[in-house]
Every structure is written in structure tokens, then in C-alpha cells.
Structure 1
């Protein structure tokens, strides 16, 4: 059965538009292009099946094509119902990749698409948020023996994987791509910082300058969101549960306060914690009329919508990706993209040049785990530093930039304790 016959997508006729999108990002992903050339020669995945669950848009599509160029039989699905782009799905099917994905499926349909992806019996997986791994370890353990290992894209997924490892439940190795330097320093900070505000700005068409932005969480994603908000002219408040990160935010020039205080003054709210209910009932009770809430964490649990609905007399869509909640006392609160990832559900995600490094890490990590899965064992491991550095060197080369090398005298000096 061909990829076209197996696939479940929404609109096969949209393929030409999808090809244009993929061609555009390919032209701006030189690191991944270089890895594709290597894969075409080496065929590291020849005869293997690879299942991918990522936000299914053009940059992800090109990663799938790079893995395919390495000899793999690739199947791909989305990792979020609202980030899948149907034209990109159609283009991938024409390129011989099996796709089980469509924009905005029901929760039941979304899960079934994930299961269809796993039923192809993959040898290797790339996951985003841990859904594939979780289903494998809970509902479809019959498919576990086939899986050699995989790579995880995001903080949320790594938290789930480490919990599984701690409980002795993880049955194959997973590489924590999110924890690599070339991921979190650039993707989480510069990618999230830019794409979040792209999603908010194109959705609301409101000015940010002069407004108060509340950034909930000051990890690498929060740092990026706060930095870009400041650049847009906003007054930025950071809320945190970690005292060290709170001091860092303060010294970076941002105000710091508990969420219940920030809720009183915020105009825009962006959650980036990976945890649930960081904006909830007690915060809605004191928010300003017109407050705009958005989430940039993986799952749509950071903004507690049930508690907001319980305080509302009505809800309506006032603009694409904007829901208005009219509260009982007359105030109105707005939620963007149903509380899902605002940069992908209401935008195109991170810039291509940023995802070039992240997806290069994914491709190289998949090759690494395929070669070393028996030696690694059933645990979560970091991306080897040499792979991280290689991606950075490829990136520098694509920019036409070079760096210095230590002389032998400098190496000896650093290795010695007596010559200082």
C-alpha cells in the first residue's frame, strides 16, 4: 500500500501550496541541507521505519524529508490539533511520506491519528510532548518491542520521560533534544520570543508599546518572550516559583511579583511554564477589563479555561483565534487560540533559521540513538556535546563566520596547574 493510500489527511488538492511552503523553508535551512547530503550518501536509516509527532508545518515537513533521504520509511502526525497545516500534509503525501494528520480534529480523532502512526510499527520515533511514548507505554505495549529509541523535542515531553524513567517504566532510550545547547539557547529563547509575538500581533492587531505584559515563567522560553516584549516597548512583569530565576528576571530589568498581584495590572499574559493552572480563578477575579491571555506551553492546561467559563455569562468568537469571555460583573477577558500554543495555533511557529538548528539536532540524535540504543539502555540521555557543537559549526559555516582555535601553548596552559 502506498503512502497516498495509507494516509489520512483533509485536503489532497492543497498540495501545491504545501510544496511552496516547504521549498521556502528548505532555502533557509542550510544546516539541515548539509545533513541531508550526508544522509543521502550514508543511508543511516535504510530499511527502518520512523514515526514523527511534531507540529506539522513546513519546517517539520522538511525534517521528515531529510529523514526520508536517509533511507527511512517515514510516517508523520501532528503534536497539536491546531498547529497542523493541511496543505503541508498533502505535499508530504505526494512526496511519499505517510501522513495521519489534519487541522483541528476532535480529541478522539486526534488520539486515533497518533495510534495510526504507531501502528506502522516504527523502529525509531521523534516525539514532541511525549504523546507517542505515553501511548506506547500505556495502551499499545504490543508495539514496544519494535522500537529502538527516539528523540524528544520539548520540555514537557522530557518531564514526562524523566518521570517514566524514575519509576522504571521507560522501555527504550530517548534523547533529550530540548536540553541541547543549540536547542534551548536559540529555539527556546529567540524562536519562542519572536514567534509568540508574531502570533499575538497578527491575531489581535493591537499595539504592545506602553502595555503591561505578564510573562508567567522565566525559563529560556520566558526569557525570550520577555526580551521581545521589552523590545516592542512593553512594561514587563515576570511571575515565578523559582527564587533564582526571579532574581535573574529582576536583574534583567523586569518587575517581579506574585501572579495574583500581576493579574491586576496586566494587559497581555503569556504562560510558558509547562505546568497547569498557572492562570486560574483567583486571577480572573482581579483582572482588568480587556485582559488578553495566551499560552506558549505545549499543552492547553496553563490557562484554566473551565474556571474562566464558570465565571462567565457568555463566550463568543470575536475574531479568528480570539474568544471573548464576558464575566458576571461586566468585565471581558480574551483567550487566544483556545489556550493552545499561540505561536503555532495562531502563527507559523519559529523562524526557519532557528528550527534549522533544532531539527538538525533531531536528525543527528535519531542517527545517534539508532547506532547506540543497546549501549544507552532504557533511559533519557542528553545530546552528545560533539553533536551539539557540530550543529553550531555548520551554522557558523552557513553564515560565513569563523572562530579561533587554541594554540598548543594555550592548551597546555589550561591543562596545567603549575604554570599559572
Structure 2
């Protein structure tokens, strides 16, 4: 079982719990519990608090300011943070572009950007998807033309999470149209305050604002902001996406949400609500619990290198599986609450959701936004294609 598998990490778990109990601000914890997307200030504050302890970048090498933990130790850390209702950190700097910069970037880029990512003082967004180039990322049409000192960038990006917060964007652009689509792509680091950058909000179905359209009109980007080599951006993009999909196993969130669902059902059954005495609901919760335990062991085996499988295929496997579990758990949460799940968020108190319970806030907002987990980072259909091609050699 997963708990016995991780028994050696129990002292580390206790250390994390003591740290969070002392350092996590109550207002930040309550907003997370209520289901709100973390504010920029919450992410900045919590990143800075973790950075003081050396924990803001658990997987980064020590030479670049990270903790240098193993993948398994990082997962233990993330599970404890989710259980404690700590806000999620902005992933775009810490999980995505940071590792690209310290792996492929110049020494100047490492010195300039990595410290500000670590302490939370600089926010990033990801300029990948375009209106007609979502899952088919290689067909992107945003162009970058060099004038010797700058690249002049023109195009549009869409579904750009946290662009309204971002100081910088790591952006895929087309620098060569003469060969294959993949071969003509480069990665640029773009200052979001540059003339010609326009951010427009997209309000999602949970009535929140965390995705955007970004328009780039004759934006001048210094040539030193090119990551690695020109026309090698597809290589860096694949490296980044593998990190994103591995991080998208959704295991910490799913374990927390299933625990809360079990606690909710237990409290509801102290009353007389007929919805919670449904044998079909019980069966589905039990099946989800078993599937989550299997997913958890698969994640541990993959991150520990127990399977001989292409890393991209492995990342796609746990991304697709984790997305499905997130959606199932959020659906069960709403089903258990019935009409009391209708408010998008809780009341801001511990008596929310209509039952006077502490476990119902944010159910509907989470249900709605988790419709997207099988789309962003590459749709599940794209993940299945990667598994077939890279994992099964079909």
C-alpha cells in the first residue's frame, strides 16, 4: 500500500506539518479551502516563505538554489502541502521555464532569472497555444524576425494562464518557415511590459479570471533572450512539456479531494439525507478510491524509474489518468451535495454549502474548472497518441 511504501518519509512528513502549522497564514489557507484560485499576492507570499526554508523549488539542483530532492521526496512534500490547504505556487517559473533555463539557457539568463523565480518576485506565463494551434503546437504561426539586435515578434497566444500576473513570458515563435514545422521553432523570453504586448482576459465557466489572450504586435525582444539555439525550440518545448505532464499527475490534489469527500459523506450520514444512502454512489466512490490507489503506485513507480518506458510516454500516461480521476472525484463531490453544491464558492465561513458543514465549499467551482484538466497541457487524445507512438511503437 502507498502509506507503507512511504513509511521511511514519516519524519519528513512531520517536519512539513510542523512548518506549515507555524508558517501558513490563516487567510491564505481559508481561500484555498474555499476553492479560490490563488491570488498573485498569495503565490508571491507563500513562495517567499518556502524560499526562506529552501523549499520553493524542491526538484531544482542545489547549485541553482533548489532543494535537490528525489522525485519521490518531492511527491511526499506536494501531498502534505495539498493536505494542509497550502495554495499552489505558480508553476510557470518554478516547474516549467526554470528547469529549461538552467538546462539550456545562457549563464547570463541563469543569473538574471533563476533567483527571481525562486523567491517569488518574478512571475511567468507560457506562450504556447494559439487560436488555430492548440494541441497541434507545431503549426503555430507567431513569427519572430531578427534585425540583428532584436527579434521582432508578431502573433497571438490564447488560453495563457496567469498572463495578467506575469512579468515575463516564455514564448514559442516561428523563426524559419523553409523546412519542417518543428524545425523552424525557437523559444524567446519576452518582457510582458514591452510595447506591443496586449493582454485581454478570458472569463471561464466558474466565473474566474486566470486565462487570457495575448496579442504581440511588433514586439522587440533582445537577441540575448533567445533560449539555446535558434530553431531548436521544439526540443526545449518537449523537455518542458514532459515536466508539465509529469507534474500533472494530480495526485496530491486527488488524494486531498477524495479524503474530503469521504469526510463529507460521513458527516452527511449523521443526518437523514437520502442522497448519501445511495448504493450506486457508494460503489463509485469505492471504485474511485481503488483506482486512485493504483494511480498512486503507478506514479511512484514511474518517478522512481521502475518501468523501462519512454519518459514522454510515461508522462502522458499519468497525465491522462490523473485528469480522469480529478474529474471523477469532483463529479462525486457535487453528486453527494446535490442542490447544495450549486454555489460556485463557499460563504467564506465554516458553515457553507447549505449543510453547515466544513467540507462543501468550492465544490461547483472545482467541478467546472476540472472539465479543462483533460485539455490543457495537451488533450487526452494527444496523450494517447504519444503513448501509442513513444510507448508502444505503433
Settle same-fold status: TM greater than 0.5: no
TM-score w.r.t. length of structure 2: 0.29
Instruction: Give me the TM-score of the superposition, normalised by structure 1.
Output: 0.28
